[in-house]
Amino acid sequence: MIDYTKLQKSLKHLELQYENYCNAQYRKELTELDKEGISESTIQRFETCYDSLWKVLKRYLIEELGIPEVPNSPKPTLRLAFENQLFSSPIEQWLHYANARIDTANDYDKDKAEQCLMLMKDFIDDAIGLYQTMTRTTWE
């Protein structure tokens, strides 16, 4: 049986922190350093959520779909999930998420951070959709 708890928790935390990030621009009491910290925290939550998601997805492919050999890395796992029609969005979108994760792991460059944050709403929506597909439950 697959435990979805860590994925659910990390996705919920990302969802809440992204909302905080979106609202930060309207909060006059925040300094630029505060806003930068919120941005960095949002990216860190994305990294945690993404890592949790692809690992749970790998287990789902093995345990639920009965695929005996699933690669032990994100991009091939994502491609296999796409081939098994688990995504509602194109594989290219999921590969953008994978590249954003790789980029932020190596460098918190301002441009890379902004590019990652621009993907966040779509990632959250897609991750929720995948969560619902795998768990056969509704996101709360």
pLDDT digits (tens, 9 = 90+) for 7-23: 999 999 999 999 999 99
94 in any annotated domain: yes
Residue-number span of the structural domain to which 127 is assigned: 5-135
CA-to-CA distance for 24 and 12, rounded, in angstroms?
18
How many domains would you assign to the chain?
1
Burial of 90 (0-12, 13-18, 19+ CB in 10 A): exposed
Alpha-carbon distances, residue 137 vs 8, 43, 131, 133, 140 (angstroms): 11, 26, 8, 7, 9
Phi, psi dihedrals of residue 128, rounded to the nearest 5° = -65, -45
| pLDDT-based confidence at residue 108 (cuts at 50, 70, 90) | low
Q: What is the CATH number of the domain that holds 92?
A: 1.20.120.330
pLDDT digits (tens, 9 = 90+) for 55-90: 999 999 999 999 999 999 999 999 999 999 999 999
Average pLDDT over every residue of 16-34: 95
Continuous H helices in the chain = 5-24, 32-63, 74-83, 91-106, 110-135
74 in any annotated domain: yes
140 in any annotated domain: no
33 in any annotated domain: yes
Query: Tokens 């999930």 map to which residue?
Result: 81
15 in any annotated domain: yes
- Tell me, rounded to whole angstroms, the distance of Cα 126 from its chain centroid: 8
